[in-house]
Amino acid sequence: MNPLQVRFLPRALVLLALLATATPAAAQRPRGHLFIVGGGSQSDSLVARFVQLAGGRGHARIAVVPMASGDAQASGDEKAAQLRDFGADAFVLLVTRAQAESASTARRLDNVTGIWFTGGDQTRLAPVLHGTPTLAAMHARYRAGAVVGGTSAGAAVISDSMLTGNQHPPGDTLGYYGDEYPTIARGVIEIVPGLGFLSGVIVDQHFVRRERNNRLFAVVLERPSLLGAGIDESTALEVGPDGSWTVRGDGAVVVYDARAARITAPGRALGASGVRLHLLPAGTTFDPKTGRVSLPN
């Protein structure tokens, strides 16, 4: 991992050490899809698409993982019921850290064709799973063809570098959500390891709705090897087995690409030129390797 990909804050150090065991071998291309929703409501078409990727009505078997939620059991039960309405066999996998370290818990994932992470707070979820047999089993299912998805906090955890929502100093609390990011600067945004299903990308959620441009832009300029994917509410970024992206839903995905940009040296005020910006509405396909975009007609 590029050392600039993680801001080394005290809480992050242990998680960084665990990341190596959480990330699948890069050489083993997964056969599954990712389905990353930026939060907010999900249309029937988005839910149906997730079930379709998991095998379709009567075939999909989906584990709902709700530990990000403050009311995890209720959140998991609600999502599982929704998935059953679309023909999936869905169950709630609500576990503690100790249970996640158990081989018997990992075996509960043996036959799943889909895994869904609910919303809430990603810092509740990631430490439960990092470095455990349960996370290893999730990666094994993804490599074998299962779809892995999530919304809001469940979207943030998908990538190998994860936004926590924390910044230093704390942000302006005068806005609607109390999580505004009033500056673009170095050393402001906290990044820790995510669950490692998506490499080379950092995901931000509720992106357009909550005006999180400054946060993601600062993160990408500090870590130019990462693409920034800002996913709006009611919108999904679908990642295929070949790595290609498709945008689905009602909103858009904003991509910041600083891989070929000129960026000021560490220690100087953050500045850049040549950063590429893509606004990808529903129906767009995107190749993250080449940056090639195909907008809908």
- Using CA atoms, how far residue 188 sits from 92, 119, 163, 168, in Å, is 36, 24, 12, 5
Start-to-end C-alpha separation, the chain = 38
166 against 73, higher pLDDT: 73
Q: What residue segments make up the domains of the chain, in order of their start?
A: 31-286
Which range, 21-35, 62-76, 166-180, has the best average confidence (pLDDT)?
A: 62-76
- Using CA atoms, how far residue 255 sits from 104, 245, 269, 280, in Å, is 40, 11, 23, 8
pLDDT score recorded for residue 22: 45
Q: How far apart are CA 204 and CA 232, in angstroms?
A: 9
As a whole-number percent, the residues of the chain with pLDDT over 90 amount to 82
Tell me the average pLDDT across 112-140. Answer: 98
pLDDT tens digits for 93-119? Answer: 999 999 999 999 999 999 999 999 999
CATH, range 31-286: 3.40.50.880
pLDDT score recorded for residue 168: 78
What average pLDDT does the chain have?
A: 90
Provide the token pair at 202: 């950092």
Q: Give this prediction's pTM.
A: 0.88
pLDDT score recorded for residue 171: 56
pLDDT score recorded for residue 181: 79
Q: 65 - beta bridge partners? A: 117
pLDDT score recorded for residue 72: 98
Confidence check: pLDDT of 229 > 80: yes
**How many CA atoms within 13 Å lie on the side-chain side of 79?**
31
pLDDT tens digits for 24-70? Answer: 444 578 999 999 999 999 999 999 999 999 999 999 999 999 999 99
As a whole-number percent, the residues of the chain with pLDDT over 70 amount to 87
pLDDT score recorded for residue 236: 98
Range from 2-11, 75-84, 158-167, 241-250 carrying the lowest mean pLDDT:
2-11
Give me the sheet containing 227-231, strands edge to edge.
201-204, 227-231, 252-257, 276-281
CA dihedral 123, 20, 54, 243 (to 10 degrees): 110
Q: How far apart are CA 63 and CA 286, in angstroms?
A: 28
